[in-house]
Amino acid sequence: MQALAANTPELLLGEERIRYHVEQIKKMELEDRAALRTFLDRQLTRMAVMNASDMDMGGVSSNGYIWFRVDGHKRPDPEPGTFTVDESALLILNLLTRSGIESLLSWHAADFSYEISLDEGRKKRRFRASAYLDLGHLVLNMRAVSEDLRTLRSIGFHPVIEKGLLFNHVRDGLTLITGVTGSGKSTTLDAIVDANNETSDGHVVIIGKPIEYVHASKKCMIRHREVGVDVPTFKDGIVQALRQDPDIVVIGEMRDPETITAAMEITDSGHKVFSTLHTSSAVESIDRIIAEYATEEQDRVRQRLGDVLRCIVSQKLLPKRGGGRILAKEVMWMTPQATAAVKNGNTSEIYQMMWEGWSQGQITLEQDLFRLMRQGHITPDTAMAYANNKRRLAKLA
């Protein structure tokens, strides 16, 4: 690998450099490619031992190191050694399938899943991976998919909300799990899927890019469809799901108007739908969806969203006293008043509805931060740092 990387022509940059490295990978002997994978598998095994959530490598900004995130802190690890940007690129490209390479060349990014064997093959560990460009060089992030499902009860929802997330109690509507990257959205979503899998006789279709946790069918039959492998796009997966007799549809992310529209359409047809957004509050989530559309379409979208939306859970992972992290969340349940606020464009009123809506299972992020602070799980400084509405939190404190 070192020789191939050292011979990379300096004149080649960006996509041309990637294409050159792809050709070099194709010329490698299978045993040499296997050795590259074995090296990265060892780093992922080390990641599991360290209980790290993420591994990053490649590009100039890594300073040649592999970086690990442990308990929220990302640091370089000198033990595996250092690598040039071209050595890292070869290691990364060797992980990609043909469709992954095509995505990388077309979109300058490729999302995929990866799996390794632990304990001499007795145990599997899955990772969500993203290869992308940084100043023209190929880089990689790999995030460990939690192998242990949390129970829905352990997340601490109000009983009203917990029932609302279960197909046996509420059989339709759109629920959004929102938060920034690394806020535990996938963990919450998997807990919801598993709770339905334990309690409902039904069919769940999960559309993801990539597929992270693979659920074994229990009371539900669960299909996993990975975008780019099993289906071309999220929208295609949603449209096709209409002909697959689902009860619950899980959409990994609503990242564009086409996917959002398809999600609202399948919800409107009487299905229970779960998805995620990269937003930090319930109100921001609603505003973000509407803002994805042209001005002349926004009133129509408000009306439709008001009809199909059932619940929004916005969450953050906070540093916990004594180490580790703890979940703080905001929960909005669509009452008639909230539906009217969405349809009339008065989303600013929804925060106060959540503030006063504990009997319906609702809670603002600031109320949950105050609870965690009062119980001694987090410091006052941490609570204030993670609050969306610092003025409201200050009033509580």
Q: What is the mean pLDDT of each run of 10 residues along the chain (397 residues)?
A: 83 88 91 92 91 94 95 91 94 91 90 84 83 93 87 94 96 97 91 96 94 92 92 94 96 94 96 96 97 96 97 96 92 97 96 94 96 96 95 88
Parts of the chain belonging to CATH 3.30.450.90: 2-144
- DSSP letter at 146? P
Alpha-carbon span 12 to 217, nearest angstrom: 49
Task: Give Cβ neighbours of residue 38 (< 8 Å, ≥ 6 apart).
Answer: none
Q: What is the pLDDT of residue 149?
A: 87
- Which of 133, 149, 152, 151 is CA-nearest to residue 141? 133
Q: What is the pLDDT of residue 281?
A: 96
Q: What is the pLDDT of residue 310?
A: 97
Token pair, residue 145, equals 């998919």
Parts of the chain belonging to CATH 3.40.50.300: 153-396
SS3 category, 179: coil
pLDDT tens by residue, 172-216: 999 999 999 889 999 999 999 999 999 999 999 999 988 888 999
The H or E element that residue 87 is part of is helix 85-93
pTM of the model: 0.80
CB 177 within 8 A of CB 188: yes
Q: What is the pLDDT of residue 377?
A: 96
To the nearest 10°, report the CA torsion of 229, 233, 238, 239: -110
CB 211 within 8 A of CB 113: yes
What mean pLDDT value characterizes the chain? 93
- Which of 36, 35, 54 is CA-nearest to residue 44? 54
CB 248 within 8 A of CB 202: yes
CA end-to-end distance (rounded Å), the chain: 58
Q: What is the pLDDT of residue 121?
A: 63
- Which of 197, 188, 138 is CA-nearest to residue 166? 197
Give how far Cα 56 sits from Cα of 67, 69, 101, 186, Å.
Answer: 5, 9, 19, 20
Q: What is the pLDDT of residue 122?
A: 67
Q: What is the pLDDT of residue 4?
A: 82
- DSSP letter at 289? H
- Which of 80, 100, 99 is CA-nearest to residue 88? 80
Question: What does the DSSP assignment read for 21-65?
Answer: HHHHHHHS-HHHHHHHHHHHHHHHHHHHHHT-SEEEEESGGGTT-
Alpha-carbon span 298 to 304, nearest angstrom: 10
* Residue showing tokens 């999960």: 206
Alpha-carbon span 142 to 150, nearest angstrom: 21
Token pair, residue 146, equals 């939690």
Angle (CA) 280-316-383 rounded to 5° is 100
Q: b/e map of 271-298 (b: 16 or more CB within 10 Å)? A: bbbbbbbbbbbbbbbbbbbbebbeeeee
CATH architecture of 2-144: 2-Layer Sandwich (3.30)
The CATH code of domain 153-396 reads: 3.40.50.300
SS3 category, 105: helix
- Which of 315, 324, 322, 321 is CA-nearest to residue 70? 324
